[in-house]
Each structure stands twice: as C-alpha cells, then as structure tokens.
Amino acid sequence: MRIILGIVFALLSNFAIAQSVEMADQFRSEGKIYVVIAVIGTLLVGFFIYLIVIDKKLSKLEKKLKEREH
C-alpha cells in the first residue's frame, strides 16, 4: 500500500513539476521562431483556401459552359 501510494505521489509530483516547468513553451522557445513559422503557415492556409474556393467557382462555370454548348 505504501509503495503504491509512494509511486502515485512520485508520479503526481513529477507531473506537477513537469506542469510548472513545461508551460506551452514550444512557441516561445528558440526566440519565438515558431511564431514566424505559424504566421507563414497561416498565410499559406489562407491563400490555399481562397484558391480552392475560386477553383470550385471555376468548375461550376465550366459546367455551365458545357451545358450551353450541348
């Protein structure tokens, strides 16, 4: 029983330390370079979504054009 409790407490305290130290530091580490990467990623996602929407519109137009030709 003691051993189990000991293990649980050890795990909990480990977890607590890990929690207090590892504060979502990923993006703040290495001079916040990940923020720059996320910004570039956001731009790419934004432009790609926009292009996909345009592409879909164009497909509709092409469909209409085909219907007209028949």
Partner 1 sequence: MNFLNQNWWKWLSIGVLFYVLIAGLIGPVPRLAILNETIRVLYFHVPMWFGMIIILTASMVYAIKFLSADDPKLDHLSVELANVGVLFGVLGILTGMLWANYTWGAPWSNDPQQNAAAIGLLIYFAYFILRGSLQDEQQRARISAIYNIFAYAALIPLLFILPRLTDSLHPGSGGNPGFNAYDLDSNLRFVFYPAVVGWTLLGCWITSIRYRMRRIKETLEE
25's tokens: 């530091």
Q: Any contact of residue 32 with partner 1 (CB under 8 A)?
A: yes
Give me the half-sphere count of Cα atoms (radius 13 Å) on the Cβ side of residue 37: 9
The answer to whether the beta carbons of residues 26 and 34 sit under 8 Å apart is yes
Q: Is 48 in the site for partner 1 (CB under 8 A)?
A: no
Rule CB under 8 A: choose which of 15, 39, 52, 56 binds partner 1: 39
Which spans of this chain sit near partner 1 (rule: CB under 8 A)? 27-28, 30-33, 35-36, 38-40, 42-43, 46-47, 50-51, 54, 57-58, 61, 64-65, 68
